[in-house]
């Protein structure tokens, strides 16, 4: 089975940048970026990221705002902060080098058992098993495992299989060693052994696959509980002064922490426009008056289906509109559209910026 799989991979492997240069640093970045993100989406980000931060020390020294701007659009921003923290730890504890031992790799922020094994096996050809979305589906079908792969007993069985399937390490033979096998198994899941309608007629190991033999490839892996999405409505407010807009740095412990955003809140802080006016008044001082809705944006964030209503607003203090030069609380600032272009923002925050960057943006200062 290994021989067939590795032969297929040799002929069908995608040309990916972290396969051309498989240093631990590059493999690490690719693995973190590819978590819950499609490879096609990752590719341009990976190239830009490595161009900006070519070494661990460069990443450790990165300005956090620039780093988050570089990550913008990939989502799950905690991954970027974990990369930054891990790079700093490697500079402090490993002289800026990627650690050699599995335990030291596992101790880095943002790295679990799968990622540590992937880095060690793919970059260094060490015999560590890996189990992620693609391989747990592939392995489940190989052995006809009808138990959902997320269950504890199934996880134990699949990790055991992943370990036993590894070829012996040959120091100079990456293609037929653990590096080749682990990548081949992931590639099979990505290209052939898909969640629905797998291409069994193109699979190099179909005749050895229990699911294929029993006609259960559509039932295996067993059903995984689907995420129950919750609906959530939030409000964002555009407050302008002379072509500048009021934004804040999102505090720690809040979604998108460390990024720049327009005033935004939802339940329980602000269930409606009146609640938003009250919440913003507490944040800024004075009174905030919310006017017309500019746009409604629908999007998804983790387990939420979000509806964001973007409104025009006024900030009033001592009976007058607050001037751009007036005092504002810490973490808040006035910024032009051009300045916002260089600041890290969420996808919806960037959509609001594009809305403001239209020719009619002078309208905002008149309303």
**156 with 269, same domain?**
no
- To which H or E segment does residue 58 belong? helix 56-60
> Are 35 and 177 contained in the same domain?
yes
Specify the pLDDT at position 325: 53
The domain total for the chain is 2
Q: Is 108 in the same domain as 135?
A: yes
The answer on 285 and 175 residing in a single domain is no
Compute the Cα dihedral for 189, 191, 193, 196 and give only its sign. Answer: positive
Residue 306 maps to a domain: yes
pLDDT in tens, the chain (367 residues): 999 999 999 999 999 999 999 999 999 999 999 998 899 999 999 999 999 999 999 999 999 889 999 998 888 888 999 999 999 999 999 999 999 999 999 999 999 999 999 999 999 999 999 999 999 999 999 999 999 988 999 999 999 999 999 997 665 688 899 999 999 999 999 999 999 999 999 999 999 999 999 999 999 987 766 667 889 999 999 999 888 999 999 888 788 888 899 999 999 989 899 999 999 999 988 889 999 999 999 988 777 888 999 999 998 876 566 655 556 778 899 999 999 998 999 889 999 999 887 654 444 444 4
User: Quick one: 73 and 197 in the same domain?
Assistant: yes
CATH of the domain at 296: 3.90.79.10
Q: What is the rounded CA–CA span in Å between residue 166 and residue 157? A: 15
Q: Are residues 181 and 248 in the same domain?
A: no
Count Cβ neighbours within 10 Å for each residue of 164-190 and write b for 16 or more, e otherwise.
ebbbebeeeebbbbbbbbbbbbbbbbe
Same domain, 116 and 263: no
Same domain, 16 and 158: yes
Residue 174 lies in a domain: yes
CATH number for the domain spanning 122: value is 1.10.340.30
219 located within any domain: no
Domain boundary among 214, 239, 273: 214
- What pLDDT score does 361 carry? 46
The yes-or-no answer on residue 31 being catalytic is yes
pLDDT confidence of residue 169: 67
Residue 206 lies in a domain: yes
Q: Cβ-count burial of 360 within 10 angstroms (0-12 exposed, 13-18 middle, 19+ buried)?
A: exposed
pLDDT the model gives residue 226? 64
Residue range of the domain that includes 339: 230-366
Say if residue 111 is in the same domain as residue 250.
no
Domain boundary among 184, 214, 244: 214
Domain assignment present for residue 333? The answer is yes
Residue for token pair 């999405």? 229
How confident is the model at residue 36, as a pLDDT?
85
Domain-located, residue 144: yes
Query: What residues have CB less than 8 Å from 288, skipping those under 6 apart?
Result: 237, 239, 276, 277, 280, 281, 313, 314, 315, 316
Which of 169, 186, 214 is a domain's end point? 214
The verdict on 82 and 197 lying in the same domain is: yes
121 and 247 housed in the same domain = no
Residue in the structure block whose two tokens are 């819950």: 36
Same domain for 289 and 186: no
């Amino acid at each position: 089975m290994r021989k067939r799989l590795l032969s297929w991979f040799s002929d069908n492997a995608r040309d990916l940048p972290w396969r051309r240069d498989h240093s631990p640093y590059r493999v690490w970045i690719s693995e973190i970026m590819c978590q819950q993100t499609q490879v096609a989406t990752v590719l341009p980000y990976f190239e830009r990221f490595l161009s900006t931060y070519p070494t661990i020390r460069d990443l450790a020294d990165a300005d956090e705002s620039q780093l988050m701007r570089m990550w913008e659009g990939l989502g799950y921003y905690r991954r970027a902060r974990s990369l930054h923290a891990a790079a700093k730890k490697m500079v402090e504890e490993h002289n800026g080098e990627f650690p050699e031992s599995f335990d030291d790799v596992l101790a880095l922020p943002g790295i679990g058992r799968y990622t540590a094994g992937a880095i060690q096996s793919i970059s260094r050809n060490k015999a560590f098993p890996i189990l992620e979305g693609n391989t747990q589906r592939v392995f489940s079908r190989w052995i006809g495992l009808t138990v959902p792969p997320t269950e504890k007993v199934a996880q134990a069985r699949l990790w055991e299989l992943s370990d036993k399937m590894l070829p012996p390490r040959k120091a100079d033979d990456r293609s037929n060693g653990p590096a080749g096998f682990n990548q081949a198994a992931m590639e099979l899941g990505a290209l052939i052994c898909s969640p629905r309608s797998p291409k069994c007629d193109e699979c190099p190991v179909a005749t050895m696959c229990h699911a294929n033999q029993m006609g259960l490839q559509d039932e295996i892996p067993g059903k995984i509980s689907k995420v129950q999405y919750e609906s959530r409505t939030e409000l964002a407010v555009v407050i302008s002064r002379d072509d500048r807009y009021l934004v804040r740095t999102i505090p720690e412990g809040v979604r998108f922490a460390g990024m720049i955003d327009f005033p935004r809140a939802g339940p329980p802080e602000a269930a409606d426009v009146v609640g938003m006016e009250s919440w913003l008044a507490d944040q800024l001082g004075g009174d905030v008056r919310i006017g017309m809705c500019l746009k409604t944006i629908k999007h998804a964030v983790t387990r939420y289906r979000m509806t964001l209503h973007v409104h025009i607003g006024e900030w009033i203090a001592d009976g007058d509109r607050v001037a751009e030069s007036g005092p504002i609380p810490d973490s808040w600032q006035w910024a032009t559209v051009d300045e916002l272009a260089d600041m890290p923002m969420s996808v919806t925050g960037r959509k609001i910026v594009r809305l403001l960057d239209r020719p009619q943006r002078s309208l905002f200062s008149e309303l």
